[in-house]
Amino acid sequence: MTKFVYADNAGTTSISKTALDAMMPYLTEYYGNPSSIYSLGRKSRAALDSARETVAAALNAKPEEIFFTGGGTEADNWAIRAALEKMSAKGKHIITSAIEHHAVGHTLSALEKKGYEVTYLPVDEKGQISLQELEKAVRDDTALVTIMMANNEIGTILPIADIAKIAKSRGALFHTDAVQAVGHIPVDVKALDVDMLSLAAHKFRGPKGVGALYVKKGHAIPAFIIGGGQERGRRSGTENVAGIVGMAAALEDAVRNMDENIAKITRMRDRLIAELSKIPYSRLTGDPVNRLPGTASFVFECIEGESLVLSLDAKGICASSGSACSSASLDPSHVLLAIGLKHEVAHGSLRLTVNEANTEEDIDYILEVLPPIISRLRDMSPLWEEKMNVRV
C-alpha cells in the first residue's frame, strides 16, 4: 500500500473533526434562514452571533468589527476597494509589496488600469520589505497601504505592527492579508493596530469558501455586495451558516492549541529544513528566523518543480511548487523572482507545508522519498550534466 502524506497545508487544509462536528447540525436539522423570525431561523441567527463572538475573541476584536465573507480572496478584494472608495478625497496612491498573493496583487493591477497608482515595495532575499523604503514611499495622496502578514510561498512573516504604524502616521489606511497567519501564529488586531485584516477558514482546518474581514470600529466602510442587507448591510446574501460555524470552531481550536501546535509543527519543519538543505545545490527560501511554523520551502537547481511535484504525487505525497494559484502557468512565481532568484532556479521550487495533522512518520517518509527523486530527475537533466561538467 502506498502511503499518503499531505504536505500542502498552505494550499488548503483538511477540515478538523471539531469544525465538521460543529457544522453538521447546521447542514441538517437547523437549516433555517438567519433572517427568519420563527424559532428555526432564530437558531441559525444565534449560531451566527456566537460564531462572530468567537472569531472576534480569537483576534482580540469586537464582534461588530467582524464581517463574514466567502473566503480570503473576497476579503482582500473588499478591503482594497472599500478603502479606496472611503479615502477617495485623499488620493489614488496605493503601496503594497512585491510578494502579495494574487488576491491582492491582481486586484491592484486591475485598479492601475482604472487610474490608480501603485508602488510595489521590493523585498530582500528573505522576503522582507525595508521600513525606510516604506517611509519614503508614503505620500500625502497615499490612500491605502496593503501588505501581507505572512507569505504563502516562502513563509516569511513581516513586522506588521511596525508597517501599520508608518502607514497610519501619514493618514493612509492599512490593510493586511493575514490569511496565512491567522490560526497559525498569534494575531491581535489591537496590538498590530491595523485598520483591516483578511482571513480564510480553509487555511486553519475550517471549511472552504468562508472567511472574514476585520474592520476597525469607526471605519464605516462601503458595502461590497448589495441586496437583502445581511452583515449590517455591507455584504448581502443569505449567510453560509454552517461554514461560518465551522470557521469559528476551527479558529477557537487553533487558538486554544496554538502553543502546543507551534512546538510540534516547528519540530517537523526544522527536520525538513535541516535534512533537505543537505541536498547539493539546494537552498531554503524565505526568512530563516521570521517564518511560519509549518513552511519548509526550497529551490533545487536543475530541477523542474512540476516534475518534482508529480514524482512526489506518484509516491503519495502532496506538495507544491510555487503557489497553487500560479502553478497552472509556466512563468516562475513572482515571489521567488522578487527575492532575487534567477528564472531557471525559481523553476525548481518546492513548498512543503505541514500542520498539526501531520506526524513525524510523515516527515520520515518525505525524507526517504524526496532525495532519490531529486537525484533521478537530475540524472535526466541536460542542465545538470552541463553543470557537473563545468565543475570538473
Ligand X SMILES: *Cc1c(COP(=O)(O)O)cnc(C)c1O
Rounded to the nearest whole angstrom, what is the least distance from the CB of residue 352 to ligand X in the complex?
15
Residues ≥6 apart with Cβ < 8 Å to 348: 299, 300, 301, 302, 303, 304, 305, 308
Between 74 and 253, CB nearer to ligand X: 74
Instruction: Quote the least distance from Cβ 177 to ligand X, whole Å.
Output: 5
Burial of 165 (C-beta count, 10 Å sphere; 0-12/13-18/19+): middle
Q: How many residues bind ligand X (CB under 6 A)?
A: 15
- Answer for which of 13, 142, 156, 180 binds ligand X (CB under 6 A) is 180
- 295-324 residues in contact with ligand X (CB under 6 A) are none
By the rule CB under 6 A, 160 interacts with ligand X: no
Tell me: does residue 211 bind ligand X (CB under 6 A): yes
Rounded Cα–Cα distance for residues 392 and 390 (Å): 6
Measured from the CB atom, the residue of 13 and 381 that comes closer to ligand X is 13
Any contact of residue 356 with ligand X (CB under 6 A)? Answer: no
Q: Decide if residue 187 touches ligand X (CB under 6 A).
A: no
Q: Does 152 bind ligand X (CB under 6 A)?
A: yes
Minimum CB separation of residue 36 from ligand X in Å reads 28
Closest CB to ligand X among residues 45, 106? 106
* Strand blocks (E) in 276-332: 282-284, 295-300, 317-318
Q: Is 103 in the site for ligand X (CB under 6 A)?
A: yes
Number of residues in the chain: 392
Which of the following is catalytic: 27, 131, 325, 369?
325
| DSSP 8-state class, residue 161 | H
Beta-carbon neighbour count of residue 77 at 10 Å?
20
What is the number of other CB atoms lying within 10 angstroms of the CB of residue 47?
23
Q: Residue 361 belongs to what H/E stretch?
A: helix 360-379
325 tagged catalytic: yes
Helices then strands, each counted (H, E), the chain? 14, 12
Nearest residue (CB) to ligand X, 32 versus 246: 246
Binding-site ranges for ligand X (CB under 6 A): 71-73, 76, 101, 103, 148, 152, 177, 179-180, 200, 202-203, 211
Enumerate the active-site residues.
Answer: 325
